[in-house]
Amino acid sequence: MQTYRVNEPAVASETIDGEVIVINLESGTYFSLQHTAMEVWQLLGAGWEVESVISTLAECYEPAEQVAPGVSEFLNQLLAEGLMVAAERPTRDDSPAASLLQLGDLKRPFEPPVLNKYSDMQDLLLLDPIHDVDEMGWPNAMKAEAK
C-alpha cells in the first residue's frame, strides 16, 4: 500500500484558519487547500495510506462512493504539481484525523477536493534570496562561482 509525503524541502506548507497554504519553492507557484482538500493533505502528509484516507473520509461524507475518485484525482494533481512524492518508510500520525472522526456520526455532503493554484507571485517568490544559498541554508549565501 502506497504512502506519500510532502516534497520537502522544495515544498513548504502552513495551516492558517482552516486553510492550507502550500508553496512550491522551485516554481514559485502557491496553492490554497480548503475543506476536503485540506483534510486529504493533512492525512497524506501524516503518513496515511491512500486507502485509509479514502475509507476514513467515506465514514464522514456521503455519498461514500464519490470519495475514492475524488481523492485519487486530487492526489494525481498533487503529484503532477510536485507537491507530494512517494514515501519510503512513513510513520503514521493519527492526530490529524481526530477532529475529522469526531464528526463521523454527522455525515456531510462530499465535495471533491480542489487544488486552487496561483502563479501571480511567481516572479516575487523566485527572487527571494533564500534560493541563492549554499547547502548550509540561509543566511549563508552561495559563492559566485557556485551559482
pLDDT digits (tens, 9 = 90+) for 51-90: 999 999 998 899 999 999 999 999 999 999 999 999 887 6
Strands, E, within 4-131: which ranges?
4-6, 11-16, 19-24, 29-34, 61-62, 84-86, 108-109, 116-118
pLDDT in tens, 111-141: 999 999 988 776 665 555 555 555 555 444 4
Do residues 39 and 103 touch, judged by C-beta distance below 8 A?
A: no
In angstroms, the CA 52 to CA 48 distance is 6
Domain that holds residue 54: 4-146
Distances (CA, A) of 18 to 34, 37, 39, 41, 109: 7, 11, 10, 12, 18
Three cell numbers written together for 42: 493533512
pLDDT at 39 over 90: yes
Residue 102: pLDDT over 90:
no
**Could you give the CA distance from residue 100 to residue 55 in angstroms, rounded to a whole number?**
12
Total domains in the fold of the chain: 1
- Mapping DSSP to helix (H, G, I), strand (E, B) and coil, where does residue 108 land? strand
pTM of this structure = 0.78
